[in-house]
Chain A
Amino acid sequence: MKPQIRMAGGYGFALVVVATLVVVATLAVAGTIRPATAAEGGKAPPKQDWSFNGALGTYDKAALQRGLQVYREVCSACHSLKRVAFRNLEALGYSPEQVKSLSAEYEITDGPNDEGDFFERVGLPSDRFPAPFANDNAARAANNGALPPDLSLITKARAGGADYLHALLTGYREAPAGHEVPDGLYYNEYYASQQLAMAPPLTEGQVEYADGTPSSVEQMSSDVTQFLAWAAEPELEARKQMGFKVLLFLFVLSVVMFFATRRVWSRVE
């Protein structure tokens, strides 16, 4: 007697269900039925070939280090990065000593001490990046009423993720004729309303890279985007590597279970 794993006539049903799922998934991937998002209204950002894309994608550590430099020298003037601790920077390829000296460049407010006073001390690897402003109101007051968002999760918190961020940072253009941009706002076709309060943050040669890479706007934007993608998803490399093994295991298990089930069912007349 030979095996019969059979749909027993359920083929039609299963086919339609699977077909529907595939069609819905395809449409969703194509973006046509993606639920309306905050980025709606902005131009769709072009897809970039990031090193962390793909099944076994990893971060480019040199790019992350350059991106960190861009964040520290440019972005951090207005944007906090409050969920990233200095100790996390070891993931960028820095030694514990390098992390220690980097964190020591920061002054951290601590306290209260035994006398009840708050005091400044040198930063430790366990500290997180200090925010540029004392609170949101101070940030708004210094930025024309606009609140520069914390960047720790920015690539996860925007539709389009890293592609969107890179497109936005390099997407400042002259407003087209007839498009009135109010004072204090800047035209950017990737932004939802096409006009945002952040002035073009990057200019040619703004940062002197430690590794000698020429600092074009494109280069700095790409580097800081990769750094912020890491900041938002520090677990990405571990996740993808584990995922690969898990999927491999489950595939083999499925095949084994398929034949085991066939064998067991071969007894049924």
Chain B
Amino acid sequence: MSAPHSSHSGSHNATPAKGFYGWMEARLPALSLFNKTLRDFPEPKNLSYLWNFGSLAGIVLVIMILSGIVLATQYTPHVDMAFDSVERIMRDVNYGWLIRYIHANGASFFFLVVFIHMFRGLYYGSYKKPRELLWILGVIIFLLMMATAFMGYVLPWGQMSFWGATVITNLFSAIPLVGEGIVQWLWGGFAVGNPTLNRFFALHYLFPFVIVGVVIFHIWALHVVGSNNPLGIDVREERDQIPFHPYYTFKDLFGLSVFLFFFALFVFYAPNYLGHPDNYIPADPLVTPAHIVPEWYFLPFYAMLRAITFDIGIPFTDIVFVEAKLGGVLVMFGAIGVLFILPWLDRSPVRSGRFRPLFKPCYWLFFVCCVFLGYVGAKPADATLLGLPLQWFGLLGIVYYFAYFLVLLPFVLPKLEKVPELPVSIADAYSEKSSGKQKAAKEQNPTEEGQAE
């Protein structure tokens, strides 16, 4: 049997299809849309397992929405009842503990999957022409995810929920002139209170559907420009590609099974490992926890927020342009903001980092820098490293973070790197690579070949 070449994709004008399919197509071509996007969609044949994480993120989003809706049927968004209602879900609702642990750990795994997805895009230049908009839509999804996760963490109304909400909403007070007003507007009062919890629940329920909307645009854009691939070269001919189904549906399902294994490991055996014990203490506005720490996926950003401990102005005068607090906020939002213009910052004509000898070490240092910033964010503000304040190293990390985007990618690397000779054909590179393996496999097991065809 040969690879399925579907004959009915986009063909309802030529020969009218018969049966239910034909009846549907004449009225609403939803099935052919489905076919085009999930079945026949041509993908480069050389995608590595790193390309699994896009569809994986989509599946985790669905898991989060479904488990979240079920939780919402029992949760009460009121400061006096929220904590108790969560405990009721844990103790008295049938399998409530399962649903809640899936949802709570799902957030962490969602970020894990999306981080890998993003770092893959950064390495293989998936943000470069013609995929600029695809990348930007992804960054918007990431921003929405952060907002959703933050508001979701507030809902159990434990100590970290309350104090996390207090710290993060207070950030907006750093905005000159209107800051205080904005913060009170966000709170719906003069402190984090019941209106805050109420609106966070409303928005936490809304945002995932906004994310779904942007995801649809993300996938739409993907289907216009096509997937990037590890070689970073364009698809040239038909034999560079294979249809999404069955090749990538199977590969994605295999990846999903492995993912679910690790996910279940946490849900069933370490459900609170990624959380914080303080969030099992009901919120108390009169008792501040010793250390307020966000969830692990926010730690690098938290480090940026805290790193600016000095006012920025003209030295030796009292003139201050940017207060320390605003500085931290600007750095944190800048770290995400810079991702929006990344497609125009990286001026190398080569997409894949595989063919960029100087880019590679810069990229990996950037990766290490992000992990290190996470470490800094996890530590108390007065921690030390090698006898020096950890904050100083954090500052160094931030400098490199921005230097990577604003100096190395646009100015240094394109100047120093020679444009290498890139492979011409995906198909040739693919068969070259697999022919060696095939020979070895054939010698081992010569009889099975006929059955596979």
List chain A positions with a Cβ less than 8 A from chain B. Answer: 1-10, 13-14, 16-17, 20, 24, 33-41, 55, 83, 88, 149, 152-153, 156-159, 161, 192, 232, 234-235, 239-240, 242-244, 246-247, 250-251, 253-254, 257-258, 260-261, 263-269
Given A2-B437, A260-B254, does the pair A268, B260 have CB atoms closer than 8 Å? Answer: no
How far is B452's CA from A4's CA once the two chains are assembled, in angstroms?
Answer: 13
How far is B105's CA from A2's CA once the two chains are assembled, in angstroms?
Answer: 38
List chain B positions with a Cβ less than 8 A from chain A. Answer: 1-3, 45-50, 87, 90-91, 97-98, 101, 116, 119-120, 123, 230, 239, 242, 246-247, 250-251, 253-254, 257-258, 260-261, 264-265, 267-269, 271-272, 276-278, 280-281, 289-291, 293, 296, 299, 354, 364, 367, 371, 375, 378-380, 430-431, 433-434, 437-438, 441-442, 445, 448-449, 452-453
The chain B residue with its CB closest to the CB of A149 is B281
Check A24–B278 contact: CB distance below 8 A.
no
Residues of B within 8 A of A39 (CB): 277
How far is B449's CA from A5's CA once the two chains are assembled, in angstroms?
Answer: 16
Given A254-B257, A261-B250, does the pair A14, B49 have CB atoms closer than 8 Å? Answer: yes
How far is B375's CA from A179's CA once the two chains are assembled, in angstroms?
Answer: 33
Check B269–A157 contact: CB distance below 8 A.
no
How far is B378's CA from A37's CA once the two chains are assembled, in angstroms?
Answer: 10
Check A257–B250 contact: CB distance below 8 A.
yes
User: Main SS of the interface on chain A?
Assistant: loop
Please name 28 pairs of A and B residues whose Cβ atoms are closer than 8 Å in the assembled complex, sorted by A: A2-B441, A2-B448, A2-B452, A6-B434, A8-B230, A10-B50, A33-B379, A35-B293, A36-B378, A37-B276, A37-B277, A38-B290, A41-B290, A83-B87, A153-B280, A156-B280, A161-B277, A234-B91, A242-B98, A242-B268, A250-B257, A254-B261, A257-B254, A261-B250, A261-B253, A264-B246, A267-B2, A268-B242
The chain B residue with its CB closest to the CB of A136 is B284
> Closest Cβ of chain B: how far from A69's Cβ, in Å?
22
Residues of B within 8 A of A234 (CB): 91
Given A35-B378, A156-B272, does the pair A9, B49 have CB atoms closer than 8 Å? Answer: no
Check B49–A7 contact: CB distance below 8 A.
yes
How many pairs, one residue from A and one from B, have CB atoms within 8 Å of each other in the complex? 168
Check B50–A261 contact: CB distance below 8 A.
no
User: Which of B264, B291, B299 is A250 in contact with, Cβ under 8 Å?
Assistant: B264
Check B268–A243 contact: CB distance below 8 A.
yes
